[in-house]
Each structure stands twice: as C-alpha cells, then as structure tokens.
A and B are shown apart, each in its own frame.
Chain A
Amino acid sequence: MTTQQYDAIVIGGGHNGLTAAAYLAKAGRKTLVLERRHVLGGAAVSEELYPGFTFSVCSYVVSLFRPHIIRELNLAKHGMEIIPLEASYLPLPDGDSLCRWADPHETRREIARFSKRDAEVYPEFGMAMNKLAQFARHIIDNKAPDPTSTRISDLMQLLKLSKAFNQLDPDLMQLNMQLLTMSAVEFLDLWFESPVLKSPMSVSGIIGTFLGVRSPGTAYVLLHHYMGEIDGAFRSWGFSKGGTGQISNAIANAARSFGAEIRTEAPVDRILIERGRAVGVVLPNGDEIRAKTVISGLDPHRTFLGLVGEKNLDPEFTTQIKRFKMRGSSGKVNLAVDRLPQFRDGRTGTHHLRGDVAIAPSIDYLETAYDQAKYGDFSSRPYLNVVIPSLVDPSVAPPGKHIISCFVQYAPYDIKEGASYWPNRREAFGDAVVDTLAEYCPGLKESILYRQVLTPWDLEQEFGLTEGNIFHGELSPEQLLFNRPASGWARYQTPIRNLWMCGSGTHPGGGIMAAPGELAAKTMLTSGAV
C-alpha cells in the first residue's frame, strides 16, 4: 500500500484528460494522469496495427480544436501538426460524382452540373452558417451558461450571450431557431433543391447520433461542421500528421513539460470516497493514490455508475445519468491497402481524394440505413465517411501503399441479438462496409492487406466508450449546454466533492476539441478547488 499526495489525479489519458492535466500542471499543481491502455490518446490515438501502417484508430480528422489551447499549451512546439483537407468528394452510383473544393468557383461549377441555383446558394448558406458559428463560438469557448443561477458572474455571462444573440440579424435568429428544432433534411430543403448536394450535407447532422437525417433536432449538428477552424480560417478540417494520436502525444508532451506525471497501463478500479468526498483512486491491486482532487476524463456512465458507484450517489442524480443517452450508432473500419482506390468517375489525379469521401448517394439511402438500425441491425449499405490520410501524410504508410479509414453509420450498439453478440457479427459488418465501398471502387477488395473492424461493442470494450458512443453521449440539443451531462452539473463539478469531470460528456461536447479539458481545469483553478 502506497500513499502519495497529488493535487490532482486525472483518470483517463484521452485528449481531454491530458489537456486538463496540462493546464493544472502549468498552474503549478502536482498532477498525475492514469491511462488504462498502453498508449495515450483515448479515442484520439495512433497505433501501428500492421507493420508500416499507422492508423488513426478511432477519430480521424480534426476541426474543432480550440486555437487558443494550441497557443496556451504551445502544442505546435510539442509536435501538433495539422494538414488541411482539400476536398469533399461524393461518388455516385451512376458513375458521376460531386466534389466540393476550397476554390469557390470550382465548387460552384461542380454543383451547377446538378443545380445552377444551388451552386449560388451554397456560398450564401456557408455565410449564414459562419455567422451563426461566430455566435456559437461564444458558447464553446466558455463554460455552459446557467439560466437558473443568480450569481453576478453567471448573470453577466447570460447578458453577454444575449447581447451577442441580439446582434444577430433577425433572419439569423430565425435560422438559429430552425436549426434547433428541424431535421437536417428539412433545414437543407429550405435552401437547396438538388438531392445530390443535400445528401452529403445532411450527414453532418447525424454523425455520432442515433437519429436519421429526417429526425428533428439533427439540423443543429450541421452547425458543428461550420465551427471548426485551422489557423483562424473558418470551416476547415484537417489531418493530424502522424494520426490523431499525435495530438494527444503533443498535449502529453506539453503536460510533462509543465511537470505532470503520466502513467500508462495504469487502470483505476474505483474512486476513493471518504465522507462524501473524493480523496484519491484505488488501483486494481488495492493500492491507493491520494489527491486533493480527482478529475475523470471518462464518460458520465463510466465515471458515476462505474468508478463512483450508485451507492455513493443521490438516486435522482443516478437517474439523470442513466437517462443521458449514449446509444452508439457508428463503427469504424480501417484498411491497409497496397494501392490507391480507383473510383469509377474517371477523375484523374488525387486531389479529389485528399479530403473526405462520402458514401451518401441519396437521402433515401441514408434513411434506409437508419431504418435497419432502428430495428436492431447494422446498415447493410451504410453511410461511410472515408479518408485516405496517407495521401497527404506519407509518414503513416509505406511508399505507394495507403490507409483507408472508414467511419461507418449505422451500427447500433444494441443489435437485436444483444450488444454482447457483436463479436459474432463483426466480420459480417466489416464485409458490409467493404462491399459498399467496393461498389464505387472496383478492385478495392483485392488491394486489402489488413482490415480492422471496430463495432460499437469494440469501442466500448477497447476504448471505454460506453455503448460505443464516440462523443461520450449524443450531441443532440437536449443533451447540450446546461444539460450536459446532467442539469445542475454542467460545469465540471459533480455531486461528490473534489470529484470533477473533464471528458467529452461535459460542455461543449465531443470531437477533438480539447475544450472540455481546458474549461474543466480553468474552472477548478478559478474556483480554488485545486
């Protein structure tokens, strides 16, 4: 039995846990990070699964990472490098395709082949979403507003928010309301006429949710796609050089440079609670590590129902946490291939593949994919978001060979045979994904050297994402802001004194953003908790 005294123990070495640790260490707090796996990063992790191929195993692109965190933690110096995606490519079943580029005129011409009007509305839509995203930045760069509080600082925050909201055009206020209530398809119908354009745009509304593109509330998630920025340029997505794990490694390097201690292969059995206060953690061998504060980067289910235990919680709070929707809906298939996939549309060069490739040929296709999931099956023809990071970052694959990363939706956690049956269906799921992509890329199957299939069950077992939810809880309007993860507990504090949360299950949510980790640490520091 060892007893060590830390100011803070961070459970989970995902990118948010590492970010929280870096901020706490930077403020001079003695900080320890405990990661269960042998590698850091959580779901932002790079692993060489096949010799010479480094995979971004789970998350695969970055957009929302807060730029001030890069500055404050000096992450560029610690190895964070982001390469922008060049295009958004949609191959169609008839052999045609639509590609959206950084060049607005080129994009206009591409869309005009399907609708001249849509081609012109597209930049208008982008402008309106950008204006709203500017407003939304107030929200993601601050702790969640608390409409029930009468504290001066909370009232000031609400005042600031309402001022920013009032500065929006009335048109934009209306737009905001539509976003919060409508479905992605309904919302896009207000703007566009061409299904070829609407279909790949609508999928931004369903990523990581157990909802369909025609389900109300999915419009809001569209906005998330316009909030990202790289180097101050709005609405850009990027690859992390060396895979998304390099972001986590850069944050870990920053944390270490400030004096944080980081241990891998260090699982935590439970949080040590004495007289209603968190005082440390207990390891599987019974060892205790004591600290003034404990911060969990795990999702709310694992934190409270797992590490804290219902017996230490108020039943009403437990109910709220149980009701917080996890219900993962996606999987991941990672391929190592010996050549670049050839799509059927006859485009030459590789520019159109140096971004993301969407398999989303029509709204009905997407809705049918959802229908299967509703009744406990994975989609036989799923929506795929495919990237080939080795095209822009040759460091992740041997020369001439490539990595194909497929984000797959829908793959419901609760399949009809029960979630634990997933291992028996894993390869069938992988086949469905490869078959789907091969319909657009003849020769794909013959080029595969290695295949990794991650079902929601695997995401839970291997990466600790409850029910395989990639965002630590759905990003639907009722689970955001002051309700994330529970009403009254949206500011990183928990009902257990000295226990804090810093994962994607807290405000402002999932994605490689680092904001929950940062805001949690800053809230702890300003409140004098640590």
Chain B
Amino acid sequence: MPIPTPFHPRTSELCRSYRYKDWSGYIAVCAYATYADREYFAFRYAAGLIDVTPLFKYDVTGPDAASFLARVMARDIRKLKAQQVSYACWCDEDGKLLDDGTVWRIDDNHYRVTAADHHLAWFHRNTAGLNVTITDVTDSIAALSLQGPLSREILNHATGSVVDGLRFFRLTNTNIANRDVIITRTGYTGDLGYEIWTASEDALAVYDAIYEAGTPLGMQPAGLDAMDITRIEAGFILNGVDYFSANHCLIESRKSTPLEADLAWTVQLNREPFIGQAALKAEKARGQDRAFVGLVMEWDEFEAHFAEHGLPPEICSAAWRDPIPIYDTLGNHVGQATSGAWSPMLKKNLALATVKAEFATPGTQLRMETTVEYVRKTVPVTVTEKPFYNPERKRK
C-alpha cells in the first residue's frame, strides 16, 4: 500500500474528490475536485500548489561530488556554480536513458539530485575511487511545487520578498514560517514557478504559511491531472510514459537514448569519460533512429469525423497516456504518440510522440489514430516545435 506524504493531513482534508493514485509508493492527489480544470487554470492564471514529495531525492556530498556527478550524468555537472540548478539525464553503458531530473549545487561540495526513479544502488556502483557520499533523502525531505503567474508574489509574501531576485534555475536557502527551506526556481508546468524543499517534520508549518499567503491571490491546491496537461503544453518528457528507463525494459527496442528523447541539449559529449559516452558518440556519428516530437492535430478533419455521425467533436478534459500509432501520409506506421491533451490555452489537441527520425522535421505532416463513435480513424497531425506553450514570465 502506498504511504501518505508529510502533507497528507492537509491535502487529504482538501481532496473532496477522493481521487488519489500511487506515485512511487506515496499516495498522491489526482485532482481535488471531480474535474481538474479549476486547478489547471490556477496554474495558468494564478497559482497551483502541488505536493511533489514522491520525487526521489539524493544528496551528493564530498570533495569528489562534482566529479562523481560528471561521471554518471550526460551533462558536465562540474560547470554548475553554487546555488545553480541544472536539468540532466543519465544513461547506462549503452547510452540508453535511465532517468532525467534536476541537479542542484547547494554549496561547493553539496549537490542534490531529483529523479523520477530510484538510483541509489546504481549511483553507489559508480563511486569507485571517488571520495563521495550519497544519501537517499527521499523520505526526509518534503517538497511542494508552486506554479503559475502569481507564484512569485505568493512566495514573496511567505518569505519576505526573498524570491524576487531568484533567477530561473537558481536556488536559495531561506525560511518560511521560521523553518529552513530551499527554494528552487524550477517546475514541471512550463510556467513561472518555484519548488520548496523542507524537512519532513516542518512540512505542515510550511504548507500552512504558503496556503495562507496564496489563498487571497487565488492559489488552488492542485493534483497530478492538472499538472499533466501543463507539462504536455510545455513539451516535457515523462519517464515511464514517453520513454522507459533502460532498467525496466525487457527488450532493447523499448529503450531510448537522450538523442531520441530530444535531450541532446543536455548531453556534453566531448569531455572526460562519462557513462554511456562512447555509445552516444557513436549514435551521434551514425545519426539517431527516432526522435521525440510535438504534434498538433489538424482540426477540420477531426470535426468532420464526428459530423458524419451527427456529433460535435469530443474534447477530452484530461490528458491521456495510452500510446497511439502514428502513420505517414501513405499509411505506413512511423511511431507512436505517448501522451497528449487538449490545451485550453492554445485551443488545440496536442500530443508528444516518438517517430522515425526522418519524420521529425517541424512542419512534417503525419496521421494519428483516433476513435470516433467506436470506429478507428486517422486524423492529420503536424510536427511542431516544443514547447507548445512558453510564456515569457517563465524565465523573466
């Protein structure tokens, strides 16, 4: 049975829908109400507050902490400055993705890694010869994500204007309700937003302070359903949905490389050896087989399929993650869409897909399967640059 997070006494009181799911062994709210749209619009117009404690968290300390992280990550973490956060991925020896997450440098020899999956054992296997200590702090650190255009104002209320100067992908040590917290300017919604990290025993005090500061500004407690729509709008890949950690794959074709996951921008190939480097160099030289792309559905044909049955077009209010086949215009299977959603901001049906590399150029016309009145059809989709939705305030 999943266990509650330290915020559960508050979130469970607010969760009137009783809609929860298991997130890495924790009870996580899907949506506080029957429908997630109030929470979604809070993310985009005010702020949403979501409990992200179930993320795996590792503290990496010691004189060789940076060398260790540079060895296991595809990104050269040694370049990270104190109080800076970076997005990174890591691979196995064959260059196949294990996970993606953030790496922060809290101070000189103290780093923290957040991840979707557990990696303590794997990290330990790769510490040979290095003076580094890795501690799993998943259960001892509680985390909240406050996302949306008013998140800065809310946190300024709660902290005494500490986050005003906090730049995108930076962190600061401060306190909320007299409890020590770290605030990172990060998130999974593609909007202005912050994540607040605190000791589990301080979780409720911090929650209450943010709740109090946020409520007058329209902040809503938000669940995973609303966040899923925002992360699709932001074009963010999700481990276990859009790709699978090589550790969990029974067959090779299920695995992905950073290039195939459109994470090449996080890979620094030409440097001291890191895990998977040789395979990734070879892949770069040879050219990747697949690509992770954004798709936007063309509306008219979609509507016409419904019109044939005398129906208005059906718009799903929640994101989906059941893989759907993608075809080229001749009907050949070229890949699969792995998640998608109707974007209330963009008024478009969006999808994230893995397709053969030759179909990855923006503007390429493809077809996606859809089911209308029990009959399988296809509709045109266009390969589109990600993120689909990218407000200026995110970085400003």
Residues of chain A at the chain B interface (Cβ within 8 Å): 103, 105-106, 108-109, 116-121, 123-124, 127, 130-131, 134
Contact = CB atoms under 8 A, between A and B. Distances in A.
A106 B1 contact: yes
B119 interface: yes
A131 B118 contact: no
B22 A105 contact: yes
Contact of A120 (B1, B25, B119, B250): B119
B248 A121 contact: no
A386 to B, nearest CB: 23
Given A127-B248, A131-B250, A105 B25 contact: yes
Given A105-B24, A123-B248, 7 more contacts: A106-B1, A108-B118, A116-B136, A117-B124, A120-B119, A120-B122, A127-B250
B2 interface: yes
B375 interface: no
Nearest to A351: B1
A108 B25 contact: yes
Q: Which of B2, B25, B119, B124 has the most CB of A within 10 A?
A: B25
B134 to A, nearest CB: 10
B173 interface: no
Looking at chain A's contact residues, the main secondary structure is helix
Contact of B2 (A105, A123, A130, A131): A105
Contact of B120 (A103, A116, A134): A116
A120 B124 CA distance: 11
Given A116-B136, A117-B121, A134 B250 contact: yes
Contacts of A124: 121, 247
Nearest to B136: A116
B120 A120 contact: yes
B130 to A, nearest CB: 17
15 contacts: A103-B1, A105-B2, A105-B24, A108-B118, A109-B3, A109-B25, A117-B121, A118-B121, A119-B118, A120-B118, A120-B121, A123-B247, A123-B248, A124-B121, A127-B247
Contacts of A119: 118, 121
A516 to B, nearest CB: 28
Contacts of A109: 3, 25
A109 B121 CA distance: 14
Nearest to B2: A105
Most chain B CB inside 10 Å of its own CB: which residue of A105, A106, A117: A105
B66 to A, nearest CB: 23
List 4 tightest A-B contacts by C-beta distance, closest first.
A105-B25, A120-B121, A117-B121, A121-B121
A299 B248 CA distance: 41
A130 B250 CA distance: 8
A106 B25 contact: yes
Contacts of A127: 247-248, 250
A183 to B, nearest CB: 23
A113 to B, nearest CB: 11
Interface residues of B, number: 16
A344 to B, nearest CB: 22
A172 to B, nearest CB: 11
Interface string B118-162: 111110100000000000100000000000000000000000000
Nearest to A131: B250
Contacts of A106: 1-2, 25
Contacts of A103: 1-2, 22, 25
A165 to B, nearest CB: 16
Nearest to B24: A105
Contacts of B248: 123, 127
Interface in B23-47: 24-25
A118 B2 CA distance: 20
Contacts of A108: 25, 118
Contacts of A121: 121
A295 B121 CA distance: 52
Contacts of A105: 2, 22, 24-25
A218 to B, nearest CB: 25
A124 B24 CA distance: 16
A119 B24 CA distance: 14
A103 B3 CA distance: 12
A233 to B, nearest CB: 13
A121 B120 CA distance: 9
B111 to A, nearest CB: 18
Contacts of B3: 109
Nearest to B122: A120
Contacts of A130: 250
A421 B355 CA distance: 72
A130 B25 CA distance: 23
Contacts of B136: 116
Contacts of B247: 123-124, 127
A117 B1 contact: no
Interface string B224-247: 000000000000000000000001
B188 to A, nearest CB: 20
A116 B119 CA distance: 10
Interface in B310-360: none
Contacts of A131: 250
A109 B248 CA distance: 19
A278 B396 CA distance: 91
A134 B250 CA distance: 10
A193 to B, nearest CB: 10
A108 B2 CA distance: 11
Nearest to B22: A105
A174 B136 CA distance: 31
Nearest to B54: A105
Nearest to B249: A127
A131 B251 CA distance: 9
The CB with the most chain A CB atoms within 10 A, among B2, B24, B121, B122, is that of B121
Nearest to B248: A127
A103 B1 CA distance: 7
Nearest to A104: B25
A497 to B, nearest CB: 45
A120 B120 CA distance: 7
A351 to B, nearest CB: 9
A257 B275 CA distance: 60
A106 B2 CA distance: 7
Nearest to B93: A171
Contacts of B119: 120
A124 B1 CA distance: 21
Contacts of B118: 108, 119-120
A127 B3 CA distance: 25
Contacts of B250: 127, 130-131, 134
Interface string B1-27: 111000000000000000000101100
B99 to A, nearest CB: 12
